[in-house]
Structure 1
Amino acid sequence: MNLDEQMFWEKWEPLLPLYETLKQRLVETYPDMKIKVSKTQISFYNRHMFAMVSPPARRRKDWPKSFIMVSFGLPYQVDSPRIAMSVEAYPNRWTHHVSVESANDMDEALLGWIDEAYSFSQSKR
């Protein structure tokens, strides 16, 4: 983990192991991906951004107290109780947000959606 990533999680240090688990799974699956740290999120790129992770800086009352928000983009809206929120940012480009409270939440469903997002991002012009 680089210094930018460490500094990003400074305020949310207890969530760092969740981020490290997610990052490790993504690095193993997509060794060519790039990581960009910004003020509000850490983004994962191939040709374009395909997934993001952010801390619970803003949260709704019905969301868990401690979690990381994993977001990804797909050409359709996923209908699942796992999706905390989804937004059609552009026509046929949906951004989905999933709250992750434990490593167990990084299951086949979430990683499958991220894999779809990776392929979708790779195919964009």
Structure 2
Amino acid sequence: MDETQTLALLAFFDGRPEEAALARALLGGILLALPETQVQVQKTQITLKHRHVFAALSLPRRSRDRKDHKLTLTLGLAHRLDSPRVDIATEPYPGRWTHHLLVSTPEDLDGQLLAWLQEAYAFAQSKR
């Protein structure tokens, strides 16, 4: 991430240093695994994309999750993940599943989560 993105990230997490540190650690790991990833800090989320969006980081909507300094990682896949790590899964249209996972430590970015991110990356890039 360049200096402009780092400043935008700090502004996004203004007053939430634990969440900012968690986001930086997660983004660092994701960028190592998927170096073609572009990071866009927006008003309500941090978007991860190459040609198409494949994942996003945001603050949890539920207040109890915000109190625990968690982040929500959202990713799209062609199938539903059957895992206790998935907080919410929806199928907005056939063959497109959106998954929301709560992430609370940098260690949550393990092999399984990286594999899902790589799968989401490939799924997004297969769109026309």
TM over 0.5, shorter chain: yes
Partners in 1 of 2:15 and 2:65 — Cα distance?
Answer: 22
Partners in 2 of 1:34 and 1:27 — Cα distance?
Answer: 9
- Quick check: 58-67 or 90-99, which moved more? 58-67
The 3 A distance-change label for structure 1 pair 6 and 91 is same
Q: How many Å apart are 1:60 and its aligned residue?
A: 6.5
Aligned equivalent of 2:40: 36
Residue pairs, 1:81-120, within 5 angstroms: 81-120=84-123
Residue pairs, 1:1-125, within 5 angstroms: 1=1, 2=5, 3-56=7-60, 58-59=61-62, 65-125=68-128
Per the normalisation by structure 1, the TM-score is 0.90
Partners in 2 of 1:60 and 1:14 — Cα distance?
Answer: 16
Instruction: Please say if residues 43 and 51 of structure 1, whose CA atoms lie closer than 8 Å, have aligned partners that are also in contact.
Output: yes
Per the normalisation by structure 2, the TM-score is 0.88
Deviation per residue, 1:20-79 (Å, 9 max, x gap) = 1111111112222211111110000011000100112x1175887320111110011101
Percent identity reads: 39
> Aligned-residue CA RMSD in angstroms?
1.8
**Number of residue-to-residue matches in the alignment:** 124
Which runs of 5 or more residues in structure 2 are unaligned? none
Instruction: Please say if residues 72 and 101 of structure 2, whose CA atoms lie closer than 8 Å, have aligned partners that are also in contact.
Output: yes
Which runs of 5 or more residues in structure 1 are unaligned? none
The 3 A distance-change label for structure 1 pair 91 and 11 is farther
